[in-house]
Structure 1
Amino acid sequence: MDHSPAESGDPRERAIRSVEAEFSEIAQRFHRIITRNAERLSPGLLPGAYKVFTAIVRHGPVKASELVERMTVDKGQLSRLISMLEERGLVARTPDPHDGRAQLLEATPEAKARLEEVRGPRENGLFRELQAWPVEDVERLAALLHSLAQGAPGGPTD
């Protein structure tokens, strides 16, 4: 499959179009991984709920309001996805010790263990592929992606 962008006379524009095309391919690949992992974690689990679950694992215990900000998702939609996760025993709520009115979301120990099984021992193809790269290249890629994410619309600077 040819991922080359339409020809342009400007080298910078061609390079940017090439980056856009590759990001599109990567996004499709990650969507397939997320969909597969959601199904393996809990049959019938929506990919959006899987994303919320992994955000809770990564940042938890966390307030739902923090997830709304982090994930730029609608509060109502997030509430429905959290309910789905709770019904499946993947997430539990606990009182926030610093704010008696608020609750914290945290992945259950069983769900965390199941996630590790789903992801497998380095099952992720990205991990395998980056293992072959020199560590300096991986570090540089991480730094460049971080810079791009910081300046992206809807990112932390907006």
Structure 2
Amino acid sequence: MNQAPDAPHDPAVDQSIARVEEQFGLLINRVKASMRDRAERVYPGLQPVGYKVLSTVVRAGRLQSGALSEMLMTDKSIISRTVKYLEQVGLITREPDPLDGRSSYVVPTAIAVERMDAVRLDDQEMLYDRLRGWDSGDVERLATLLHMLNESVPLGGSAASRELAREVDSAPESEAVGSR
């Protein structure tokens, strides 16, 4: 499947790759708009970075800020300000780390889990409604191709953040959100 590094490039393949790149650009723009919309549905005025932080904490159940910063490949100061805001609006709480009194865990509140679940279910319903109109073979091909792409794209950040991201991504839904 892979070409040798010095193999000649097929112009038709390059043209198809350019179309994929264009479609990814459109998809990224839609995802950004969707993130803004989701954030607003969770809490009026919530910014996309807040939504990203909150959704990660809801999936994980609880995290230390440092781990959250690594997972999201975001500066610790941004995480700190975002966590402070989410705490002020009642979407997360902090629990002291019993093993390290200087550290604490960021934990989603029940209302945050409830709101995130509602947004996720609404979006999931929309996705299912749209893809149910497709041929089942096309849906399966899309899933396979997305899997292949995800496997071929390296995760950024440190080895620890990549491992933590894999653990959260692979955790079953009931386990990933902690004790609801």
TM-score normalised over the length of structure 1: 0.79
Indicate the RMSD between aligned Cα atoms, in angstroms.
2.6
Equivalence for 2:106:
105
Please give the per-residue CA displacement for 1:88-116, whole angstroms capped at 9, x wherever unaligned: 10011112234332211111111111122
Change (3 A) 1:140 1:22: same
Equivalence for 2:140:
136
1:11 matches 2:9: no
Structure 1 residue 11 displacement after superposition: 2.6
Structure 1 residue 144 displacement after superposition: 1.5
Q: Distance in 2 between matches of 1:96 and 1:51?
A: 23
Q: Distance in 2 between matches of 1:120 and 1:42?
A: 16
Please give the per-residue CA displacement for 1:63-89, whole angstroms capped at 9, x wherever unaligned: 111111111111111111111111110
Equivalence for 1:146:
150
Structure 1 residue 39 displacement after superposition: 1.0
Change (3 A) 1:17 1:54: same
Question: What are the ranges of 5 or more consecutive residues in structure 1 without an aligned counterpart?
Answer: 1-7
Report how many residues are paired.
149
* SS of aligned partner of 1:44: coil
Q: Distance in 2 between matches of 1:80 and 1:124?
A: 33
1:33 matches 2:71: no
Q: Distance in 1 between matches of 2:101 and 2:78?
A: 24
1:96 matches 2:97: yes
- Tell me whether 16-25 or 117-126 shows the greater mean CA deviation: 117-126
Equivalence for 2:117:
116
Counterparts of 1:48-87 in structure 2 under 5 Å? 48-87=49-88
Change (3 A) 1:137 1:92: same
Change (3 A) 1:139 1:64: same
Whether the 8 Å CA contact 1:130–1:138 is kept in 2: the answer is no
Equivalence for 1:4:
none
* SS of aligned partner of 1:100: strand
Change (3 A) 1:100 1:93: same
Whether the 8 Å CA contact 2:70–2:158 is kept in 1: the answer is no
Residue type matched to 1:67 in 2? L
Structure 1 residue 120 displacement after superposition: 3.8
TM-score normalised over the length of structure 2: 0.70
Sequence identity percentage = 32
